[in-house]
Each structure stands twice: as C-alpha cells, then as structure tokens.
A and B are shown apart, each in its own frame.
Chain A
C-alpha cells in the first residue's frame, strides 16, 4: 500500500480539536508576566521562554509527524517549508513564509505576519530587551533536534519592537545522523 500523502496545514487544522485563540494568547501573557515577576531580568526571561519552548518542541514533533504524514525531508529547504506551511498552520492556525536562503541552503528566515501570541500586547519601556515570542524559537529548535538537526534560532524582526513582521532566522548547525542503537556485530 503506498504511504499516505502528506496533508496540507489547512486540512490538518480543520481536523483537529481547536480552542479560542484568545484563551491561548491570554494564557501565554500570564506565563510571560509570571516569569517577569519571578526572574526580573529580561535576559533570564528570554532564556526561560526558550527552554519552555524547547520542552514543548521535543514533544510537539511527535504529534506533528503523526498528523502530517510528512515523510523524511530531503533537505533543509524542504524542512523549513514544512515548518512554515504545515507546522505553524496546524498548531497556531497561521501560515508563515520562508525567505532569505543563504548560498549553502543551511540558513533561512521564517516570516510570520499573524501571530496569536501577541494579540493585545505592547512592550513597556522596562522590557525593551524582551523577546516576547521567544517560546517559538525554542519550539522550533526542540522539534528539529528530535529529527536529528541541531539548529540555532534567533529573532531578526519583532513587531513588538517596532518591526513590520516577525522574522526568525533558522540556521542548521549540524545534521546528526540517527544512531542505530545496536552494533551489527554484537
């Protein structure tokens, strides 16, 4: 039987259980506020958000692979497209686009115009160093690590800081080949 065809982001999003985005947005806001109160340093909050994102990413990848029927991506270019078109859509209900490929094909930008994390949000002057959506960078990094790609994810543009879109740079550092746990001659 041929493998099931990969499903589009829209199709998957329509088929999963969904909740009001505002509940999600407000809950995320509560998390960021808690972290700011507890940790006080904006840099620490950035790190904690990234770590939380990482924790989510390493579990989210399973659901992603299960629901999307995406077969192994041939190259990093395909990986980035799949994250932008299928990943973001099936979880956050928004589509992202991929741009700014470097010559090697190991570094690109994922650009988001709609972002459910930031509705109603404005950064006060005291938090100008905060990467409010830093959970997203952790999610991408964690998810990709589970499929053997070590990446570095950084923010290039952030609408809360006055830019016109959200742009994440995803840089492939190392493709770690999957280790077969048993040696053949044992």
Chain B
C-alpha cells in the first residue's frame, strides 16, 4: 500500500539562497517580441492618450532597470559602484546594453546645447524592431520602455535623470534611429563638479 502525499513537504526555497545564473541563458527573440507586444497592448487599454501610454511603459522599464543594476553590480562588477558621470554613462552604454540587447549601444554623445544632456543612440532599438506605429499614434515610441530601463539604472546608481526616447530621422535611411535622451538632475552635475 502506498501512502500518498507523505514526504512531499513543500520546500519554500529562499530565492537569495539559490546561486546566481551566469546570464548566458537565452530565449527566442519572438518570445520576447510576443511578450512585449502584450505589455504594450495591455497598457493601451489602460490609458486615454499617448503620453500616458509612454509613461506606463517607462514605469515598467524603470523596475527592470533598477533590478538590472543590482544584478550586474553584483555579478559583473564585484559590487563596485560607479561614482562618476562618464563612468555610469559608459556602464549603461556598454555593459547594460550588452547584457540586455547583445551589443553595446551604437553611440554615446554629449548634448551640444545643454551641459546636462547626453544621448545614447541605436540604429534599430530591439523593442522597435518588430513594431510599426500607426499614423494616428503620432510620435509614440516603444523605446519609452528602454528609456525607463535607463532611468531605473541611473536613479538606482545615484544619478537621477529625466530620460526620454525619440525617433530621429537619418539621412539616407528609411527607418529613423532611436535616441535615448538623458537629462541629469542638477544635483548630479553639482556633485560631478565638486569631484573635479
């Protein structure tokens, strides 16, 4: 006679006790595309206008960014923190981009008009690759999700900023590139100046 259920005590494994994966696991691009598409479609039902939709996507991205920073700092940087502006920008442009999108970002530029602005650009942002925006949605950019990720990383690293995503038409190219515009808070620039 077999006793059913005996010995099957539920083991609530604390997630912090599990070892951290090396980050090499992959899923298909289409799995991500389907998931992202549902994220956008769900949020479309929750808003009345484009600005709100972008804000919700940004908020979703923010949570991802905060976690990505924690994960990468612990796993890839041995718990060392960036304290300088160029350091954190380089971290986002190279390390964060490499982990999330498989490549470093196409470019990192300093804004010419304002001291507190920097731009990370990508010819074809992953989240925009498989999405076409209907004309009646105007300037809506799914890159708002990525802008949110960047804001989440920067904020959690101690570099608060306003981060937005913009389409920038490029000469000779059919599809515009996406620029993530980062505008740092005044306190960041003041601190940077103090550090010399």
Contact = CB atoms under 8 A, between A and B. Distances in A.
Interface of A: 13, 16-24, 26-31, 33-35, 38, 48, 52, 55-56, 59-60, 63, 90-93, 116, 119-122, 135, 159, 161-164
A28 B32 CA distance: 9
B67 A120 contact: yes
Contacts of B6: none
By secondary structure, the B interface counts as: helix
Interface stretch (B35-43, B109-117, B178-186): B35-43
A19 B102 contact: yes
Contacts of B49: none
B80 interface: no
Interface stretch (B23-31, B131-139, B164-172, B187-195): B23-31
B2 to A, nearest CB: 15
A55 B34 CA distance: 9
Contacts of B60: 27, 30-31, 33-34
The binding surface of chain A is classed by DSSP as helix
29 contacts: A13-B28, A16-B29, A16-B30, A18-B27, A18-B29, A19-B26, A19-B101, A20-B23, A20-B25, A21-B27, A22-B68, A22-B99, A23-B64, A24-B31, A26-B64, A26-B67, A27-B32, A30-B60, A30-B61, A31-B42, A33-B60, A33-B63, A34-B39, A38-B46, A52-B38, A56-B37, A116-B27, A119-B21, A164-B11
Nearest to B64: A26
B94 to A, nearest CB: 15
B28 A18 contact: yes
A90 B28 contact: yes
Interface of B: 10-15, 21, 23, 25-32, 34-39, 41-43, 46, 56, 59-61, 63-64, 67-68, 71, 99-102, 126
Contact of B38 (A23, A31, A33): A31
Contacts of A63: 30
Contact of A52 (B21, B25, B42, B46): B42
A18 B29 CA distance: 5
A31 B35 contact: yes
Q: Which of A19, A38, A59 has the most CB of B within 10 A?
A: A19
A25 B64 CA distance: 9
A137 to B, nearest CB: 14
B38 A19 contact: no
B188 to A, nearest CB: 25
